[in-house]
């Protein structure tokens, strides 16, 4: 993973570590989307991205979020303005809860503001939510 893409994910992680949903949303392109649980959600403007990320940060806060860390996975360079990055995440929780480990793929696009997420594919986190619901 090139250093500028790694730096992008360091900003993304820092926004989550601050539980700042608006800052996370600011790292998405307009329009953008998320694919998860065999469904696609299209975000035509920044407003629904921000609403989603603010709500997600609130869920994390209520669950006892401590911090997120990442390791780069596979990376596909698609020229000057596009890239695909698979990222391995670890989220630490308080009160002795087991950390979550999952992978997410990001289709990135270079904009006038820098790299942004065009599509987030959350393909392994759903199993964590299902396991937690069953507990």
In angstroms, rounded to a whole number, what is the distance separating the alpha carbons of residues 10 and 3?
10
pLDDT of residue 62: 95
pLDDT digits (tens, 9 = 90+) for 27-57: 999 999 999 988 999 999 999 999 999 999 9
Tokens of 119: 């599509």
* pTM for the whole structure: 0.91
Q: What are the domain boundaries of the chain?
A: 3-134
Across the chain, the runs of DSSP E, i.e. the strands, are 28-36, 39-43, 65-77, 82-93, 100-111, 114-122
Residue ranges of the chain whose pLDDT lies below 50: none
Specify burial of residue 3 (Cβ count, 10 A radius: 0-12, 13-18, 19+). Answer: exposed
In CATH, what class is 3-134? alpha beta
pLDDT of residue 38: 86
């Amino acid at each position: 993973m090139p250093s500028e893409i790694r730096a992008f994910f360091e900003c993304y992680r820092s926004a989550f570590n601050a539980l700042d949903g608006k800052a996370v949303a600011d790292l998405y392109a307009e329009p953008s989307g998320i694919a998860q649980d065999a469904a696609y959600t299209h975000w035509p403007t920044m407003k629904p991205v921000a609403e989603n990320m603010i709500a997600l940060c609130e869920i994390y806060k209520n669950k006892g979020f401590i911090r997120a860390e990442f390791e780069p996975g596979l990376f596909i360079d698609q020229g000057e303005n596009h890239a695909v990055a698979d990222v391995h995440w670890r989220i630490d929780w308080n009160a002795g809860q087991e950390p979550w480990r999952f992978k997410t793929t990001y289709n990135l696009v270079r904009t006038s503001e820098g790299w942004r997420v065009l599509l987030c594919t959350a393909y392994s986190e759903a199993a964590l939510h299902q396991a937690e619901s069953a507990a």
